[in-house]
Structure 1
Amino acid sequence: MGTHPAEDRAERLLGGSLAVLRQLRDGVVLLALGPDAVAGDFEVLMANDAALELYALRRSDLTGRGHDLMRTSGLDEAAAREITAALAAGEPATVTALVSRADGARLWVNIELTPLQTPEPGAGLWIAVSRDISSQVENAQLEQVRLDIERRARLALSIVARVSDILQEPDSADVLRAIADLVTPQVVAWSGFFVLGRDLEEVEGIVDRPDHRSRLPRHAADPAGDLLREPVMRTVRLEPGTTPEPGTVTARLYELLEPRFAQAPGAEGSVLVLPVLGRVRTLGLFVALPYQGATSARIDGPLGQPGTESIAILPDEVGTVLELVARRVGMAMDNAQLYAREHLLAETLQRAMLPEQADVPDLDVWTYYAPNVEHAQVGGDWYDVVNLGADTAAVVVGDVVGHDVEAAAAMGQLRSVVRAYAQELIDPAMVLSRVDSLVTGMRIPRTASLVYATLTRRDGSWTLRYSRAGHLPALLRRDGKVEALDAAGGQLVGFDGSERETALHTLLPGDVLVLYTDGLVERRDRSMRRGLEELVRLTESIRGPDAAGIGEELLQLADAPEDDIAVVVIRVPGGEGAESQDAPRRRRWQIPADPSAISRARQEVRQACEVWQVSDAAAAELVVSELVSNAVMHGRGQIGLRLQALGDGGLRIEVEDGNPAPPVTREQHTSRVGGYGMHIVDRLADWGWRPTPGGKVVWARMRHHAAPWAVGD
């Protein structure tokens, strides 16, 4: 028999089974329910030694009843409510409880509650078996922590990987906005990119201006203007309540961010600023408004599919993600600016070395040059047309290997050498021999090919003398047949060896001479031989009445050029010629930005209007004269002139220059001298302008039956 009335009752109800329960290694507690279990009406009848040890209690501590008993046991409130609900429902239950023992220890306990069947009806006897599961819970928590770390790492890598993908298209106008939109909902409440220019400004695209420098007001306490003393120029956290000094970068940043605080739900009010670093200097700022404490961020599933889990991003991890994003954007922006600097250098060289075409009396000459757009907008191809005297002109077309700045520099050196000897010597073979000798001593690092020719007037015809240095043969078309001028061949320039030769031909009225570089015929999908054959067939089929029209048709062969192109077309006036119906009704020229360009442009327009039978040629001449005059006075670099015959019999004129500033129509005043150019254009044509990567294009579409003499009405 037991020594306590409650234990005596348990002995009576369970008999010999009670001795077995006392010996179990798990903690066992027998409970007897009263009429109101919800109110905690139950009593402990027996607790074995394992239960007393598990809960760190004495046997006398378990004599209490109901909720007092559960508080004595150290069960947490949630577990106590679960146990009470299970007893009241009369159904078995398993409860996991956090126990705070009297000795200060805390442990996790699994409690299994089961009602028992006894000989005494309505006894309400329950058994509660308790086991210490602290080690299992700890392992599960550690596993969850590990999974959380893994998921956060996956999220961070996913964000950084997507940023790298977005930066694959750095030319996109909103690439930085796309990156900020990716980071904003997942990591921070708001983010954006800023650059230091004349003012602090938020940007959406990669800033690739190589001359972008900080020109902000100097710090009032820093007369040297050292922006490194600015808080926003360092990786800092600007807390709420900070009062930046007026006129500083920090003050301007707060001014720009003020509306963002209201628009960013969950932002804690502080600002996280990270520098966007280039190789040698700070290119911009990556600014973020963090969430309060941590944020729940979406985890994406495999292959970028949205997942359904969420995970807390800790403040330290936020900083890591933002830093990685800022680094990648910095590399992309620095590369863009490096490319822009190289591009600017290449364009500067190109403007200094642009091919020139002198007007040759009694010869129709058309020239064209286009660098490969995949490279730095400059290459080694070039041409020159030079007057050597009253009745003699020289023409050269050459190609230096390569498409980079070094190729352009080598081209400039070689071009100058050829020009110098062309002024002194007439015989092409002698010119190239002298060029060979000088180039060998100069040690120009790139090989080059060229063809040099002279044309001399002889009683209505022209005598052609030429010599080739490893260059493709020129083409001579006469009476619909094409001959490749492949004589007088020789080694590439600079290989001072065998003597050069000069070949002789006579050009008659109507003859067409075509000189070109390999970019006109070379393709990856066809051999050079096939390209030359197609060029010969195309040249045979052309019936254009002028050199510009012939050149436009030849350029059809280079619809998608893979290399630099230089072309010179020379036509001896006379003979029969009528433009074919399917010929491209457009013309283009590159003319120098000097006053002589105006008369040349008028001449080209007059000739094109005659060929295309465009009415009001006088009005077109006046319009092109005003547009080219503006380009000469206010533009930069070489001028591009383009004409296109329209289907309704009209004419479209385009003039391109290197000045991005738009044309201005000045207010008319009787006392002002000049300034009426665009008013004249406005009276005679519909016109407009558009920006280009290197400047602008001003276009005009001639109106039918315009009367130029009505301008002064």
Structure 2
Amino acid sequence: MGNEAADRRVEDMLGGSLEVLRQLPEGVVLLACEESDPASGWEVLMANDAALELYALPADVVGAGGPELLRQTGIDEAGARQIAETFRSREAGNITVLVTRGDGSRVWATIELTPLVAPAADESVSLWVAVSRDVSAQVENAHLEQVRLDIERRARLALSIVARVSDILQEPDSSDVLRAIADLVTRQVVAWCGFFVLGRDLEEVERIVDRPDHRRRVTAEDLARDPVLELLEGNVMRTVRLEPDAHGEPGTATARLLDLLAPRLAEAPEAEGSVLVLPVLGRLRALGLFVALPYHGPASARISGVLGSETAEESIAILPDEVGTVLELVARRVGMAMDNAQLYAREHLLAETLQRSMLPEQADVPELDVWTYYAPNVEHAQVGGDWYDVVNLAEDTVAVVIGDVVGHDVEAAAAMGQLRSVVRAYAQELADPATVLSRVDSLVTGMRIPRTASLVYATMTRRGDEWDLRYARAGHLPALLRRGSEVITLDEAGGPLIGFDGGTRETAQVRVRPGDVLVLYTDGLVERRDRGMRQGLEELIQLTRGVHAPDAAGVGEELLQLADAPEDDIAVVVIRVPGGRGQEEDSAPRRRRWQLPSDPSSIARARQEVRRACAAWDVADVSAAELVVSELMSNAVMHGWGRVGLRLQATSDGLRIEVEEGNPAPPVTREQNTSRVGGYGMHIVDRLADWGWRPAPGGKVVWARVRR
């Protein structure tokens, strides 16, 4: 346009308003746009002084309009496209663009485009008014607010990741706790990460471990050439960046780590290639390494599900320095948890080893069927002062004691050991239970043992086919005597706890006949938070009245049903006098369990228990079962750690034998070699039974099912 006809048309349409527009403080530009070419076919008809000042351009440059004006003002392609789309739509639009002024400065401007009048039937040009405002301050404030919001969101993301790490560390199932943490950080912050410890060699781990430290004495030269070893030998939180192409000197921990990470780098093309290594610090030393492969540039982390948002997923860029902060916080939190777990595990192992070493092995009492059981409260990883003892005092006399020292720690276990030794010493010299307890009470008071204890001490003396049972109690729950379908509560001869110097004590007496079953137990068998002690005792009496097993081990198994979820340590002694009227086995649970020491004598004991169980269950092929249990127990004693758990169960398709011990390494069937002594055990088991193994919280279980 730009001709007199157009000028007259504008004058006729706006009249005196045109002068008003020229005087407005906001930039006003009148435009004429050709309908056929909204992208470049438009020109400026009028621009007021405020518009010229805003753009800092002379009137002739502004009047050029079209692509030339866009070029002069530095409006980018996106802004030009928005302007053309607004013209094409014939509807008002609002556009915010970055404008380059004539003096070279840049401002944010909002341009409001409004159509004034549509073209007549015989015209192809529409008239528009563009009102421009400098909104740099608003845009800057919005940008600062967005930056502040992004910083806050990143901080919340980092805190949420660390909080989730803490939650994972508190979860009871810790078999793969480190893998779960690594997966969380991998999804949110880095391309891949994992935890490594130094045993005999550097290896990746998925759970908190407490393995022997095989580090040798290192020199300053060793540390200078091995940055990973330097992290492990130090006690300072810092990050070492390794470049894979550097490889590391052969034989160093750095070279070993880079070799382990080579497949990870190949599987993570989004990783930048370098490796971040942080120490996992304990109180005194580095316990391991936290290794991560960062992304190229900022990591895009998903907020939904991490911050607890239920809205659509959002993405937020995690900057490299923030990645380092998150990794350091995670490494510190895992280090604290690992250090606490290892310290607690060592204390627990010390206490449990002390206690189990003081527990006697079950004595082989002629003419009596004896079964004993002890289990610490594994749910809370505590060890208490429960103990039992079965001692042959003379050819026809047996002493039985069961007790409980107050507490669940090393001191309780130590007090239990002292008390057990005192009781056993007096039992060898004195025949009367009340006298034994009185002497024990006086000695314990003089020794100033800091823990009180309850116990039941009894002697059984043979009188023909029957036995005289004489007993005394020191604040302990009464023993039970089952005779047929009747249960007698042995609640006489009571007295105060050991350690209170209770003065004169009494002895009670009862005759035990063939077929009778004597049950002694600690409070862990009957005590629960959801029921009182009296109710638990009544349930135990009812259960004892209804047991059907023909042997002491079977009776014990049925009674342990009362302790499906024990909240305390449990010790149980069951003594059955052979003979009498037999019980029906059909309704009794056909399973048995024992805790045995890691000693060669346990192999013979296991064979004996298998013979007894097979006799009770009418299992015919006893020799095969004996051979299988002998081989499994031999492996557990020779190659296992800690005490050995033996479990038997009669099933419809055979006898199932399970042996549990603390070594997590799987059993290996060696290749047969006539020149080698031994190594045939699992081949024998393979011929006689179906067998396998599974991990257990404290090691592994090897099982075998002897085929019928």
Distance 1:565 1:167 in 2: 28
What letter corresponds to residue 351 of structure 1 in structure 2? Answer: R
Confirm whether residue 481 of structure 1 aligns to residue 486 of structure 2.
yes
More divergent stretch after superposition (417-426 vs 553-562): 553-562
Q: Please name the residue that 1:586 is paired with.
A: 591
**Which aligned pairs between 1:339-358 and structure 2 lie closer than 5 A?**
339-358=344-363
Q: What is the CA-CA distance between 1:434 and the residue it aligns to?
A: 1.7
**What secondary structure sits across from 2:303 in the alignment?**
strand
What letter corresponds to residue 290 of structure 1 in structure 2? Answer: P
Report if the CA contact (8 A) 1:272-1:290 is conserved. yes
Report if the CA contact (8 A) 2:628-2:685 is conserved. yes
Task: Provide TM-score, normalisation by structure 1.
Answer: 0.84
Determine which of 608, 615, 622 is the counterpart of 1:610: 615
Q: Please name the residue that 1:190 is paired with.
A: 192
Q: Please name the residue that 1:521 is paired with.
A: 526
Q: What is the CA-CA distance between 1:384 and the residue it aligns to?
A: 0.3
Distance 2:244 2:686 in 1: 57
More divergent stretch after superposition (275-284 vs 37-46): 37-46
Distance 2:703 2:138 in 1: 80
The CA RMSD over aligned residues, in Å, is: 4.1
Report if the CA contact (8 A) 2:199-2:211 is conserved. no
The change in CA–CA distance for 1:509 and 1:19 in structure 2 (over 3 A counts) is closer
Q: Please name the residue that 2:53 is paired with.
A: 53
What letter corresponds to residue 208 of structure 2 in structure 1? Answer: V
Instruction: Spell out, residue by residue over 1:504-556, the C-alpha distance to the aligned partner (whole angstroms, 9 max, x if none).
Output: 33333333322222222223333322332333333334454432333233333
Report if the CA contact (8 A) 1:351-1:637 is conserved. no
Report if the CA contact (8 A) 2:225-2:249 is conserved. no
**What secondary structure sits across from 1:245 in the alignment?**
coil
**Which aligned pairs between 1:211-360 and structure 2 lie closer than 5 A?**
211=212, 221-222=222-223, 229=230, 234-238=238-242, 242=246, 244-300=248-304, 303-305=308-310, 307-360=312-365
Report if the CA contact (8 A) 2:359-2:389 is conserved. no
Q: What is the CA-CA distance between 1:691 and the residue it aligns to?
A: 5.1
Q: Which has the larger radius of gyration?
A: 1
Q: What is the CA-CA distance between 1:219 and the residue it aligns to?
A: 8.3
Q: Please name the residue that 1:106 is paired with.
A: 106
Q: Please name the residue that 2:161 is paired with.
A: 159
Q: Please name the residue that 2:537 is paired with.
A: 532
Q: How many residues align?
A: 699
Report if the CA contact (8 A) 1:76-1:100 is conserved. no
Distance 2:377 2:487 in 1: 28
**What secondary structure sits across from 1:367 in the alignment?**
strand
Report if the CA contact (8 A) 1:176-1:206 is conserved. yes
**Which aligned pairs between 1:67-216 and structure 2 lie closer than 5 A?**
67-72=67-72, 79=79, 94-113=94-113, 127-169=129-171, 171-203=173-205, 205-211=206-212
Structure 1: unaligned runs, 5 residues or longer: 705-713
The change in CA–CA distance for 1:534 and 1:244 in structure 2 (over 3 A counts) is closer
Q: What is the CA-CA distance between 1:40 and the residue it aligns to?
A: 6.0
Q: What is the CA-CA distance between 1:636 and the residue it aligns to?
A: 5.4
Q: What is the CA-CA distance between 1:493 and the residue it aligns to?
A: 0.3
Report if the CA contact (8 A) 1:31-1:125 is conserved. yes
What letter corresponds to residue 290 of structure 2 in structure 1? Answer: F
Q: What is the CA-CA distance between 1:593 and the residue it aligns to?
A: 5.1
Q: What is the CA-CA distance between 1:191 and the residue it aligns to?
A: 2.8
Structure 2: unaligned runs, 5 residues or longer: none
Report if the CA contact (8 A) 2:548-2:587 is conserved. no
Q: Please name the residue that 2:390 is paired with.
A: 385
Q: What is the CA-CA distance between 1:327 and the residue it aligns to?
A: 3.1
Q: Please name the residue that 2:467 is paired with.
A: 462
Determine which of 409, 418, 425 is the counterpart of 2:414: 409
Task: Provide TM-score, normalisation by structure 2.
Answer: 0.85
The change in CA–CA distance for 1:443 and 1:126 in structure 2 (over 3 A counts) is same
Distance 1:112 1:674 in 2: 94
Report if the CA contact (8 A) 2:223-2:229 is conserved. no
What letter corresponds to residue 196 of structure 2 in structure 1? Answer: F
The change in CA–CA distance for 1:592 and 1:267 in structure 2 (over 3 A counts) is closer
Q: What is the CA-CA distance between 1:449 and the residue it aligns to?
A: 0.3
Distance 1:509 1:214 in 2: 62
Instruction: Spell out, residue by residue over 1:441-473, the C-alpha distance to the aligned partner (whole angstroms, 9 max, x if none).
Output: 232222210011122233443332221111112
Over the matched positions of the two proteins, sequence identity in percent amounts to: 74
What letter corresponds to residue 279 of structure 2 in structure 1? Answer: P
Q: Please name the residue that 1:365 is paired with.
A: 370
What letter corresponds to residue 144 of structure 1 in structure 2? Answer: Q
Q: What is the CA-CA distance between 1:134 and the residue it aligns to?
A: 1.9
The change in CA–CA distance for 1:268 and 1:638 in structure 2 (over 3 A counts) is closer
The change in CA–CA distance for 1:324 and 1:59 in structure 2 (over 3 A counts) is same
Distance 1:198 1:333 in 2: 19
Instruction: Spell out, residue by residue over 1:130-179, the C-alpha distance to the aligned partner (whole angstroms, 9 max, x if none).
Output: 32222222222223323333433443344344434444436344443333
